[in-house]
Structure 1
């Protein structure tokens, strides 16, 4: 595992960060979800590291990966643990030997270089070493690496997930607010880290059709096909904590059983099953589980004069509440409108609090609307403006009973469902492109 000092010039913390298997898979997410052909640049991964293994696992036959030895990036060397020239040469030699041991398939697609100056621009650039030091150090590192990202490409960096003062982490957070297209907290790491994906130049929406759904590291796997979203883990933990407090406060009372017994069903509400997304490029999939409330053509002043086909789906408290992208596209706008909390199956729900995610697609604008219901009071949306979503990719959820609406260009789509039909998010085809 790669280890570098955290805290840099600030001297706040000297605890080494170890990039474990789970964090490594998150770092390599953009490589793994890209259907290729693609180019990758991995900076600072040592021989035998989990990050190098994850990057190699993500390679497809037409892909190419360049690996830069640790501590060899000039300005970056001061921020992530620089090494002498002899040390860099030795690290590069060890990397080449390690790659050669992986077999010809890997060696034909992987190139090892000693310095960043020898690397060529790539579609996905990954800084495998945890970024530390001062804000100026981090700014210099990011500037150097950004020059090596192809137009529309992604730069992935990792920082410690700590509340303590950390110049590098603060600078990355600042840039993530401007250019971020995704951030993931990896708690199952020593210590926990946060992985940020930055896109400094806009990507074309067509690139989304070549992507697979991104990994969600914060969800907890129960089985191969079933996870629990991080919201469910937190909610179940709160319920168990209340049970423990009640038991401690009143040992002879059975009151603690109420929150204790509620923990399992609360966690189950946030279940996140794996879904097989239809490969048909002309298929539009359901954005959520539930029952179709309405299929209609309409105009919506929020989107101008264009006519849309709207398919509304009601989610009961027993349905899976994770929301998925109905089509592949680029998030170009996101806004929330205030309103009431009428029961989601009633017409009055039209004026409930709602979050609008607008996608740019090959077929025109597509909108996904997350509407609150009588019980739901919290909408979660995890796709920043500028991010690319694969068809069927998770992008958010609504807590408890609610409704999702999918808006499609009316002259380019025809519905395949009717009111009363049951649909499965990410799997059921609700419409097809003409």
Structure 2
């Protein structure tokens, strides 16, 4: 007997299953929260990869509540939790029905949503009341055409309104898109307790190196062109051009793992590169506040993944028009740029991603309302470019000077006073 709050439609399970990678993506918000927290998994099933990932994410002081879709599974699910031993069974409880659940910092839907748009909307509305203020609802939906009866489109709409991050998990059968939704604002201090989130759609090359999904796509296009050229122009070596280009193209989008300093007073570099300038100024685009601005130039050989210099909540994001001057030149001040504005416990911080003479594409992945940990990836700029970090001038002390080399997420460029 099913008692899922939508009647089992939006949460019903067809051929879609969540593998280990998808399960880790669904539970990522839970795993990166280093403070004591409570999580809720609805539509939990026996042997679920999502339940396993949620248990693995628990820290001392955390608690987890499981709500199975079918009341007949309650006893078996409780036995499964007991089999994990006392450390888990003391922190995880299985309840008979959703109304008995307490509000949670993270609510996770344990199976992909495959119903209609109305069913998905009803499901989200029903689960929203079980979130604490600033809590996150994590939900997966099939990412293939016709994979749902309208739920995918509704989740995309909800993400446009309330999304604070998401990921496409290609290594699942079929692929799924994970959405993280926040219906009420989170307190800015909550960002201080988070660890950086990893984009699971990037491709691991080694334990410490990934290729961003943009690079995977670009390399795939290059290899596709090579295959097409070889098939249509037999005997020609023309296919070698795109085939050989695939490696440096993918390398440009490399995304190394970085050790973020533990010092809470540290401000880290937003990108790899060479420091162009350190100065106090006012920027009319950011109001009358005086900032300490640290500008870093990225050559085409630098890692172009951008990271948040501080922990904070994204409160604004805007793009300014301009030219495409060489990024190391003073004229780059007026290039096309994307500004990410963060509220922090130390004041307002801004990161500007500036285009260059070659760079014309800015990728931004931190929706307004999302929380960024210090050193967390939030976007990238394609080819040579520049990043500017604006800090409150009266609160921050610079630790770098012009000409210094920095590594994004690892090098300390300033310290809070």
TM-score scaled by structure 1? Answer: 0.92
Match of 2:218 among 206, 221, 235: 235
Check conservation: 2:310, 2:373, Cα contact below 8 A.
yes
**For residues 68-147 of structure 1, what are the structure 2 equivalents within 5 Å?**
68-71=67-70, 88-89=71-72, 91-147=73-129
Aligned residue for 2:44, secondary structure, equals coil
Aligned counterpart, 1:17? 16
SS across alignment from 2:138: strand
Distance 2:241 2:198 in 1: 34
> Aligned partners of 2:377 and 2:69: how far apart in 1?
34
CA displacement at 1:9 relative to structure 2: 7.5
**Aligned partners of 2:165 and 2:366 also within 8 Å:** yes
Determine which of 115, 119, 136 is the counterpart of 1:154.
Answer: 136
Task: Give the distance between the partners of 1:166 and 1:236, measured in 2 at CA.
Answer: 33
Paired residue for 1:421, among 400, 404, 408?
404
> Would the aligned equivalents of 2:13 and 2:111 in 1 still touch at CA under 8 Å?
no
Choose from 158, 172, 185 the match for 1:189.
Answer: 172
5 Å-filtered alignment, 1:330-349, equals 330-349=313-332
Asked whether the 8 Å contact 2:13–2:112 carries over to 1, the reply is: no
Q: How many residues align?
A: 409
Question: Within 2, Cα distance between the matches of 1:100 and 1:36?
Answer: 25
Establish whether residue 308 from structure 1 lines up as the match of residue 291 from structure 2. Answer: yes
* Residues 137 and 182 in structure 2, CA contact (< 8 A), matched pair in contact too: yes
Deviation, 1:14, is 9.0
TM-score (normalizing by structure 2):
0.96
Counterpart-to-counterpart distance in 2, 1:154 and 1:195: 12
After TM superposition, the structure 1 = structure 2 runs for residues 193-272 of structure 1, keeping only pairs within 5 Å, are: 193-272=176-255
Q: Find the aligned partners of 2:93 and 2:279 in 1 and give their Cα distance.
A: 54
In the alignment, the residues of structure 1 paired with residue 119 and residue 126 of structure 2 have an alpha-carbon distance, to the nearest angstrom, of 11
Separation in structure 2 between the aligned mates of residue 68 and residue 215 of structure 1, nearest angstrom: 28
Counterpart Cα distance in 2 of 1:167 and 1:240: 34
Runs of 4+ in 1 over 6 A off after TM superposition: none
1:364 corresponds to 2:363: no
Deviation at 1:137, TM superposition (A): 1.2
How far does residue 70 in structure 1 lie from its aligned partner after superposition? 2.0
Q: In structure 1, how many angstroms separate the alpha carbons of the residues matched to 2:64 and 2:211?
A: 33
- CA contact under 8 A between 2:17 and 2:111: conserved in structure 1? no
- What CA distance in whole angstroms lies between the structure 1 residues aligned with 2:67 and 2:370? 27
Shift in alpha-carbon separation, 1:320–1:134, aligned structure 2, 3 A: same
In the other structure, the counterpart of 1:41 is 40
Distance 2:192 2:198 in 1: 17
Aligned-residue offset at 1:215: 2.4
